[in-house]
Copies of this chain bind each other. A is one copy, B any other.
Amino acid sequence: MDITFRSIGIIHTPFKVKEGMPIQPGGAQGIKGSIILKEKYTEGLADLPGFSHIYLIYYLHKSSGYNLQVIPFLDNTFHGVFATRAPRRPNAIGISVVRLISIRKNILKIENVDMLDGTPLLDIKPYIPEFDILEVENRGWARDISEKVKQYRTDARFK
């Protein structure tokens, strides 16, 4: 059964090609972007400016096909695709928490963007610590990535 969504707007970022992009918002500190929401949804933004961080859920529109085992950008061994945030996945859905700077009418200014320019936006949700901050006991292969996230950039492996 097909599940069909429609873009609610477009995310604009400085990243025109897939190579050389930051890896997750953690690698994109201070990088500015914007969202142009379709005007018909503007009323749905009411009260969003009160939140400093928001989830963006988006369509990884330049990603095609997938492998079930991948080497993610931050590692050098294969992992199951569902144990990674690699863009080539059975459903090409991305999520990122970005900083919300301002909203004017249907235009959102955001920061810490890690997605391609022109990315179709599917949803915006407020980032709420009570829901979204969890105490983690284990983080699998992603144990020692704090420094890597800041330094590494994307390469051609997910063309």
Chain A interface residues toward B at CB < 8 A: 1-8, 24-26, 41, 43-55, 57, 59, 68-69, 78-85, 89-91, 93, 95, 97, 120, 122-134, 136-142, 145-146, 149
Shortest Cβ distance from A6 into chain B, in angstroms? 6
Q: Is the interface of A mostly helix, strand, loop or mixed?
A: mixed
Instruction: Indicate how many identical chains form the complex.
Output: 2
Question: Smallest CB-CB separation from A98: which chain B residue?
Answer: B134
Shortest Cβ distance from A142 into chain B, in angstroms? 5
The answer to whether B80 touches A47 (Cβ under 8 A) is yes
Please indicate the chain B residues that have their CB under 8 angstroms from the CB of A8 in the complex: 90-91
Please indicate the chain B residues that have their CB under 8 angstroms from the CB of A126 in the complex: 82-85, 139-140, 142
Please indicate the chain B residues that have their CB under 8 angstroms from the CB of A91 in the complex: 5-6, 8, 57, 122-123
- Beyond the given A43-B80, A46-B83, A133-B133, could you list 15 further A-B residue pairs with CB under 8 A, ordered by the A residue number? A2-B4, A3-B120, A4-B5, A5-B93, A24-B131, A44-B82, A46-B79, A50-B138, A51-B83, A51-B139, A84-B126, A85-B128, A91-B123, A126-B142, A130-B149
